[in-house]
Structure 1
Amino acid sequence: MKQLIFSFLFVFTLLPLAKAQDAYLFATFREPQQDGLLLAGSTDGYHWQSLGGPFNTPGVGTDKIMRDPSVCQGPDGTFYMVWTSSWTKDKGFGYASSKDLIHWTPSKYIEVMKYEPTTVNTWAPEVFYDDVHKQFIIMWASTIPYRFEKGQEAEDNNHRMYYCTTKDFKTFSKTKLFLDPKFSVIDCVLLKRAPKDYVLILKDNTRPERDVKVAFAKSPLGPFTTPSAAITPHFTEGPTVTKVGNDYLVYFEFYKDKKYGAVKTRDFKSFTDATNEVSLPQGHKHGTIFKVSAKFYDQLLKNLN
């Protein structure tokens, strides 16, 4: 089991929820990317406090880093996490699971692009539970030079999205192409709004775009509509989404300014800038938001105090 290591000091007292409601957790990392998994918590979805960490440390892949952690809770209550384990050369990503977000199984390396020997990278894997087919979908961005049309990007920076499925994280389906929007795309996040109503939030990684867009589908595996116009400014990436009340908050990273922003929407057609309404711990980087029960959140805080 991974040991719990606290490298960040608390400057406040972690307070439990006053009444039964969902809470929000943000799986994240900070530079240097060798530190491992960090968590931030929120009771309103807008204002976040650091919960310390690292809770799991990297140890697989060529570079042995932990970037872009994605956490999804399965129907059995277990939390499943995948992450970027190297900038280049890896044809897979890291994986671990936990019942309490503190104690994790030993890290494993899942090699999903081994059948493509010229694969440059395997970036930002995202795990999504498909409750219709009772399986997990894992999607990620990879570059296979000279495979797809491109714009101004170099051949080693022309990404498409791939995916595989699993029911137990022991056996995996054959890797397939998830999304080819006819441009370089990374950082996809999938949201289910209703039966046969899915939203894909993605980064258009082309020059001069480098911004976040959305597409829609009736199935979690598509086909997806043509991506929208940009919903964020240039030089933004790493989107994640959560629903707060009647609104959806799409968080994203201003990677040049090294800060987070957000937009708010109810229909994914019109968006309002909410950057000044949200606050996150300093240094917070690309990760994913997921909800937990009030009972679980209170117990997590008790374990950390």
Structure 2
Amino acid sequence: MNRTVRKLLALLGPLLLVLLGGAVFEGTASAAAPPAGQATRYTMTAFTNSSESNLYVYDSPDATGFALQKGPAYTPPSGLIRDPSIFKHTDGYYYLTYTTNWTGNTIGFARSTDRVNWTFLYNYTIPISGLTRTWAPEWFIDTDGSVNVIVSLTAASTATHFTAYKITATNAALTTWSAPTQLSGIGPNYIDTFIVKVGSTYHAFTKNETTKYIEYATASSLTGPYTLRKTGDWAGFGDWVEGPALVQLDNGGWRIHYDGYRAGKYWYSDSYDNFATWSAPTEVPGLSGFIRHATVLKETVPGGVTLPTNATRSLRSVNYPDRYAVARSDSLGYIDPVSTSSSAAVKQSATFTVVPGLADANCYSFRDSSGRYLRHWDFRVRFDSSNGTDTFKKDATYCARPGSASGSVRLESYNYPGRYIRHYNYSLRVDPYQNTDTFRADSSFTVVSPWA
């Protein structure tokens, strides 16, 4: 939220408090994040700059910080494994489809029970005469349950004039497929088409192979006709980019990961307005410069971090265990030393009531003894009374992720996914995730018995 709007909300806040007669204690919010005992898991499959013949598998609780699960996790019996796309089928298996070679007319299939150990199934020949290149197959599961693969095909003698086609599985075993159908309106010379469906509209993100931009089209049918809505550098992704892959975040936003192959970077960006605008591209921490053309699968799985709600607790720093999150007299958040010899006021400043998240009841908010909530403002942690706005509720909501030490927690911003509460020079901030041990420790806290 920009400063002008935030200042307006800040001015309205005190007026609301006067009208309501005191601190605003929020009611129960709706929930999009998984409930207690469950967690979101994002699985990424990719090939790498160092090998086109090996699959690497990563996972993440937040679609930002990915940890290697296995690499190489799969090597096909022959050919390549470029552009690996993953989904979980109704039979309980995970399936891959992938590009088998720079030239030819086949795509590959493999499956797994655990995402990290894969078995080759078969190479499938696309039944179109004269194909010279068959690239970037992507799974698309429609709302009717049909299993589709979107694939880029050309019969040209060079890597040009690609067109998007779809094939649909005609049996549950995914061994027989319909005749290919062209996606009308996408092409010629568009590749790496990735589709998501929102409501009754199909949204296609596809690389213009002539201009090297990722462009955007919509249709009311999977096979089109598609209408190009945004072209050129409409989203700020830049040029010489490819391999768009979208996944929905727990807060309802959409994240695109894509390959800045010419610069040797891997990026992500978020949208919250039905794909109209996007956040500034951010490099995928720890993986940018190594992975190529990935896809991301979102699942809800057992596990996660659960905090007690409607209970008072203190937040102890993992790497400075004599320091605790506090609200100082300037209303800003810090980690300060607290001990049995500390004054009652200091102990009270380090004590908070954990409540269901104001913006999502399956996340958390933290309220001090005066009724103020821990929230971020220009990415600095501070404590303010609620003004009842949606912006405030989101600023004051944090989703629990596993911390760097056993039993610890990291608190991810609800409205800025990928940013975490962390201390820096003992000040509490909401900073972008960094793939370093220092950041992971700085952003980890142990929830302990309250000081007051």
TM-score strictly above 0.5: yes
Q: Is the 8 A contact 2:270 2:279 kept in 1?
A: yes
Residue 246 (structure 1) aligned with residue 258 (structure 2): no
Cross-structure match for 1:264: 270
Percent sequence identity is 24
* Equivalent residue runs for 1:213-292 within 5 Å: 213-229=215-231, 230=233, 231=235, 232-244=237-249, 245-266=251-272, 267-275=274-282, 278-281=284-287, 282-292=289-299
Which one has more relative contact order, counting CA pairs under 8 Å at least 6 apart? 1
Q: Is the 8 A contact 1:59 1:107 kept in 2?
A: no
Cross-structure match for 2:38: 20
* Shift, 1:175, TM fit: 1.4
* Equivalent residue runs for 1:6-85 within 5 Å: 19-60=37-78, 64-85=79-100
Cross-structure match for 2:143: 131
Q: Is the 8 A contact 1:34 1:57 kept in 2?
A: no
Q: Is the 8 A contact 1:81 1:95 kept in 2?
A: yes
Tell me the number of residue pairs that the alignment of Structure 1 and Structure 2 aligns.
263
Deviations 1:203-256 (A, max 9, x none): 1111xx201111112233322222412322111111111112132111111101
Q: Is the 8 A contact 1:74 1:129 kept in 2?
A: no
* Shift, 1:280, TM fit: 4.0
| CA distance in 1: counterparts of 2:208 and 2:247, whole angstroms | 21
The one of 168, 171, 176 equivalent to 1:171 is 176
Q: Is the 8 A contact 2:192 2:243 kept in 1?
A: yes
Q: Is the 8 A contact 2:215 2:228 kept in 1?
A: no
Cross-structure match for 1:161: 164
| CA distance in 2: counterparts of 1:239 and 1:280, whole angstroms | 19
| CA distance in 1: counterparts of 2:151 and 2:133, whole angstroms | 10
| CA distance in 2: counterparts of 1:180 and 1:92, whole angstroms | 24
AA paired with 1:142?
L
Deviations 1:259-280 (A, max 9, x none): 111221121111221415x424
Please state whether the residue corresponding to 1:203 is helix, strand or coil: strand
Cross-structure match for 2:208: 204
Deviations 1:119-148 (A, max 9, x none): 11000111111231x321111111123xxx
Q: Is the 8 A contact 1:58 1:107 kept in 2?
A: no
Please state whether the residue corresponding to 1:163 is helix, strand or coil: strand
AA paired with 2:134?
T
* Shift, 1:179, TM fit: 4.1
Please state whether the residue corresponding to 2:85 is helix, strand or coil: strand
AA paired with 1:220?
L
AA paired with 1:287?
A
RMSD of aligned alpha carbons: 2.3
Larger radius of gyration: 2
AA paired with 1:131?
T
| CA distance in 1: counterparts of 2:187 and 2:205, whole angstroms | 16
Cross-structure match for 2:129: 116
Q: Which has the higher strand share?
A: 2
Are the structure 2 counterparts of residues 234 and 274 from structure 1 closer, same or farther at C-alpha, using a change threshold of 3 Å?
closer
Q: Is the 8 A contact 2:204 2:217 kept in 1?
A: yes
> Which deviates more from structure 2 when the two are superposed, residues 226-235 or residues 286-295?
226-235
Please state whether the residue corresponding to 1:122 is helix, strand or coil: strand
Please state whether the residue corresponding to 2:302 is helix, strand or coil: helix
* TM-score normalised by the chain length of structure 2: 0.54
| CA distance in 2: counterparts of 1:255 and 1:156, whole angstroms | 16
AA paired with 2:160?
N
